Structure 1
Amino acid sequence: MKKPTGSTEAMRIEDLDDAGLVEHARQRDSAAFWLIIKRHNQRLHRVARAVLNDDTEAEDVLQETYIHAFTHLAEFRAEARLSTWLTRIALNEALGRRRKRRPTVDVKAIEGMVAPFSADKPDPEEAAALAEIRSLLERAVGGLPEPFRIVFVMRDVEEMSIEETAFLLALRPQTVSTRLYRARRLSLGS
């Protein structure tokens, strides 16, 4: 998939909501595919990384998620938001990969959670400060037990609602709230 070049069609399509993008993608509009990826990539990467605790595997999950989503786009009925549907696909893929892991697999050192489509390039001082903050956050989040880590990322990093998080993880909303509370306490060292 190529990124659209500054055509008027690309400018017009950027104003579409997700439902409009889905319609264009169903018609094989490559600009619509690109924008769907651009809009949802960071969230999906963070969710996959929260499950797998590995950037490389999270990137593989993203590829599989988009392949699955785009080949099954006709099945998307808009009963849920596109972001919820994509997150569910990514979560299923990540959980499936985690189940298949051999117990001897080492977890890679955290290198940062920068989405491949990030357009913002801060100045060097700001970039260094952000990298340090990101590293501290990732170490704290990466050290959480997996059930707490996933809830923490979905709620506090991706700002999903309790209901959406509960739906995606097949949990009761009260369980999401409890896990989030415990994750926050654990990450603060309390």
Structure 2
Amino acid sequence: MTGDDLALVAAASTGDAAAFDALVRRHTAKLYRVALRIVGDPADAEDVVQEAWVSAWRSLAQFRGEAAPTTWLYRVVTNAALAHLRRRKPTVPLEPEGQAGAALTDAGPTPEQAALRREKVDAALHAISLLEPSQRVPLVLRELEGMSYEEVAAVLEVSVPALRSRLHRARVALLAKLEELR
């Protein structure tokens, strides 16, 4: 987030709807991507992002600037996604399709290599979707969103060593899920 974003947060916290709208336009795509990878359904992810923005608007006055505004927004959307998962009935995740993993692929030199790569990405995304939310969230933020350990720890409100431990357990569980799916 840039200094402009800090200014937008400050302006929005005083009730400036245009500043808040600028934040929404600037960050919705990133927040949607995180929500989609946590909840696994495009329609649910849209609902989660909507809830997150409503929550962010309501709590702007409490933003103290102790963390970067992006960290705060990731925390808001992660909390909204986890709340959504707690509210909904357990379901079997659908097989990955469409654009959920599109950003992760880079086509190989041949169609066969591209198809094989796509299958591997789909299998990994499917396995991630089968993990418990407490394991899925850190993996999504660190491995798929590319956030630093410090940023993920701030979003999850845990220490970096605790995050490293969670990520280790999540990676072990992911490998087990991938083995199950073979």
TM-score (norm 2): 0.69
Contact 1:141-1:149 at 8 Å conserved across structures: no
Aligned positions of 1:1-190 closer than 5 A: 16-103=3-90, 105=91, 107-108=93-94, 110=96, 111-113=98-100, 137-144=121-128, 145-146=131-132, 147-171=134-158, 172-179=162-169, 181-182=171-172, 185=175
- The Cα RMSD (Å) is 3.3
Q: Is the 8 A contact 1:52 1:94 kept in 2?
A: yes
| Runs of 4+ that moved beyond 4 A | 132-136, 183-190
What is the TM-score with the length of structure 1 in the denominator? 0.66
In 2, are the aligned partners of 1:52 and 1:58 still within 8 Å (CA)? yes
- 1:178–1:67 distance in 2 versus 1, CA, 3 Å: same
User: Contact 2:34–2:140 (CA<8 Å) still a contact in 1?
Assistant: yes
Which residue of the partner structure matches residue 125 of structure 1?
A: none
User: Measured at CA, do residues 106 and 183 of structure 1 come closer, stay the same or move farther in structure 2, by a change above 3 Å?
Assistant: closer
Pairwise CA distance, 1:41: 1.9
Q: Which residue in 2 is equivalent to 1:117?
A: none
Unaligned 5+ segments in structure 1 are 1-14, 115-129
Q: What is the alpha-carbon distance in structure 2 between the residues aligned to residue 35 and residue 41 of structure 1?
A: 10
Question: What are structure 2's unaligned runs of at least 5 residues?
Answer: 102-113
Question: CA–CA distance in 2 between the matches of 1:112 and 1:39?
Answer: 20
- What corresponds to 2:111 in structure 1? none
Question: Residues 188, 100 of structure 1: CA spacing in aligned structure 2 closer, same or farther, 3 A cutoff?
Answer: closer
Number of the residue aligned with 1:7:
none
Distance in 1 between the 2:139 and 2:171 partners? Answer: 9
Aligned length: 159
Residues 68 and 180 of structure 1, relative CA distance in 2, 3 Å threshold: same
| Higher helix fraction (1 or 2) | 2
Give SS of 2:24's match. Answer: helix
Q: Are the aligned partners of 1:148 and 1:182 in contact in 2 as well (CA < 8 Å)?
A: no
**Identity rate of aligned residues, in percent?**
35
The structure-2 alpha-carbon separation of the partners of 1:137 and 1:39, relative to structure 1 and needing over 3 Å to count, comes to farther
1:70 is aligned with what amino acid? W
One-letter identity of the residue aligned with 2:80: E
* Alignment check: 8 A CA contact 2:56 2:73 kept: yes
Structure 2 counterpart of 1:74, one-letter code:
A
Q: Distance in 2 between matches of 1:186 and 1:50?
A: 19
How far apart in 2 are the matches of 1:21 and 1:84? 15
| Structure 2 counterpart SS, 1:79 | coil
Q: Offset of 1:36 from its aligned partner? A: 1.1
Change in 2 beyond 3 A, CA 1:141/1:183: farther
1:134–1:30: structure 2 CA closer, same or farther, 3 Å change rule?
farther
Q: Distance in 2 between matches of 1:136 and 1:154?
A: 20
1:166 touches 1:176 (CA, 8 Å); kept in 2? Answer: no
